Amino acid sequence: MQTLTGKVAIITGAGQGVGLGIAQALADAGAALTITGRDAHKLQTAAESLRGRGAQVLPHPADARKRSDANATVAATIERFGRLDILVNNAQSSVPGTLLEQLDDATIALTLESGLLGTIYHMQAALPHLKKQGGSIINLASREGIIGGAGFGIYAATKEAIRGLSRSAAREWGRYAIRVNVICPAALSPAAVKFFADNPGAEEHYNSATALGRMGDPLTDIGPVAVFLAGAASVYLTGQTLNADGGQTML
């Protein structure tokens, strides 16, 4: 595991699931962390678990859909730690299993605002600080966007928009030594567990379509990919998508 000692990271939506797994992996690599989420209780519990791993952690309740919250998160991070090196845009709300004909304005707004707009807001807020020494932005997308998953229309569109945004940012911000990459994870997050519980047979279908035959673990399978993208080993990698999905998607 490469070291991130002396680096400072913001991870949005880190109260549970993939966001927490990534936060744990970054903490184990030595990074100081600001973690955000809308549920203050979950965030405090996550922060305590991260401190138990020896990390410096700032839990900062925030709603990724609000530009003011993104600005406040970055400001609080700079005030606490004095710098920012890594931004992980993981926060995403959605209503999986919603067919296109069933989409209403509330579901469309929730998905787009929490994912695409939240990612833009945090990237813009972080940019002045990442410019100072370079850094890594890691945005979370999904195989559902790449393959066009049925029942995931607005979610798929949001995640593909995030990938397009990431490629543009990689070209615009490379001059500042800022790298922008994407992870498409497949992991047993609470949202995935609920989806499988609500859709009998879905887990077996996903596992059978996965070369490695299983869903990933947020910490041990997805976390190391984020550590790689955050650190010096990926210093010449930008504008790329890594499908950390056990072989569900092969391009």
CATH for 102: 3.40.50.720
Residues 25-45: tens digit of each pLDDT: 999 999 999 999 999 999 999
Which whole number is the average pLDDT over 97-116? 96
Residue 121: active-site member: no
Query: In the chain, which ranges are continuous DSSP H helix?
Result: 17-28, 40-51, 67-81, 105-112, 118-130, 143-147, 153-173, 190-198, 202-208, 223-230
In a domain, 71, yes or no: yes
Q: What is the pLDDT of residue 1?
A: 60
The residues near 153 (Cβ < 8 Å, ≥ 6 apart) are 98, 99, 100, 103
Alpha-carbon dihedral 13, 16, 18, 19, rounded to 10 degrees: 30
Cα separation, 97 vs 118, whole angstroms: 22
Among candidate residues 121, 155, 206, 236, the one labeled active-site is 155
In a domain, 3, yes or no: no
- Would you say residue 94 has pLDDT above 70? yes
In a domain, 250, yes or no: no
The first and second tokens of residue 166, run together, are 């990431």
Helix (H, G, I), strand (E, B) or coil at 39: coil
136 φ, ψ (degrees, to nearest 5): -130, 130
Q: Is this model's pTM higher than 0.85 or not?
A: yes
Do the beta carbons of residue 195 and residue 187 sit within 8 Å?
no
**What confidence tier does 71 reach under pLDDT thresholds 50, 70, 90?**
very high
Q: What is the pLDDT of residue 202?
A: 87
Residues 121-146: tens digit of each pLDDT: 999 999 999 999 999 999 999 999 99
3-state percent helix, strand, coil for the chain, nearest multiple of 5: 50, 15, 30
Residue range(s) defining the domain that contains residue 40: 8-244
In a domain, 78, yes or no: yes
In a domain, 1, yes or no: no
* Range with lowest mean pLDDT among 9-13, 97-101, 201-205: 201-205
Residues 173-192: tens digit of each pLDDT: 999 999 999 999 999 888 88
Cα separation, 182 vs 158, whole angstroms: 13
The tally of domains found in the chain comes to 1
